[in-house]
Chains A and B, each alone.
Chain A
Amino acid sequence: SQQGEEDPQALSIQEGENATMNCSYKTSINNLQWYRQNSGRGLVHLILIRSNEREKHSGRLRVTLDTSKKSSSLLITASRAADTASYFCATLSNFGNEKLTFGTGTRLTIIP
C-alpha cells in the first residue's frame, strides 16, 4: 500500500518559474524524504525532513512539513531544464518496520 501520494501527477512549467509538488500521507511518520529520478536512472536522494521540523532548505529546494495535515511540499525555485525528472516522496512510519514507503511520484517537465 502507498503511504505517500504526490500531487499533481504531472506538471509542466517554463524555465525560470518555480515548481511546487505536494505529498500527503496517512500515518504518523518519523521522517519524510524527497527523491528525484531522471529518465532511465535510479532515484537520487534530495532532502530529508524529520517530524519535528517544519521547513528545510537545500540550494534551490525548499521542503515544508505539516504533520497536522499529514502533508509535505517540495518547492524548486528558478527551475532549469535539468530539473526535468520525476519526484517522489517517501515516508518512514513511526509504527512497525524501518522501511521507507514511496509515493507514485510527480512528473515535472521544464520547458526551455
Chain B
Amino acid sequence: NAGVTQTPKFQVLKTGQSMTLQCAQDMNHNSMYWYRQDPGMGLRLIYYSASEGTTDKGEVPNGYNVSRLNKREFSLRLESAAPSQTSVYFCASSTNRGRGSPLHFGNGTRLTVT
C-alpha cells in the first residue's frame, strides 16, 4: 500500500522554467491538497481539491496552477518558476468523510529555483 506518492523527489529549475509536480494516492480519498513548507513558516496551503472535478485556492496560490486529473491524481504546475518558489512541496489526501479528517502526506518534492 503506497499511500501518497510524489514525483519527482528533487528538482532544480532556472528562473522562468516550468514544471509539473505529480501526486497520486491509492487510498480512494476524496480530497487532495498541495502545501509548501519553508523554514520558520510551517506548512502553507497552495491549492486543494475537495472532490474529483473541483479545485480551490488556498493561502498562497499565486504562481501555481493545479489539475485534479481523476480521483487518484492531483498535479501542481509552476508556469514560470521564481526563486521565491524554492521550497519543499507536499501533497496530501484525506477521506473528508468528517470535518477536518486527518491528512496523509507524501514524502515531498524538494524544488530549488536558481
Contact = CB atoms under 8 A, between A and B. Distances in A.
Chain A interface main SS type: strand
A65 interface: no
Interface residues of A, number: 25
Interface string B37-61: 0001111110010100000001100
Interface residues of B, number: 25
B40 A104 contact: yes
Contacts, number: 59
A43 B102 contact: no
A99 interface: yes
Interface stretch (B12-20, B65-73, B105-113): B105-113
Contact of B102 (A1, A2, A33, A98): A33
Contacts of B106: 42
B90 A104 contact: no
Interface of A: 1-2, 4, 30-31, 33, 35, 40-45, 48, 88, 90, 92, 98-105
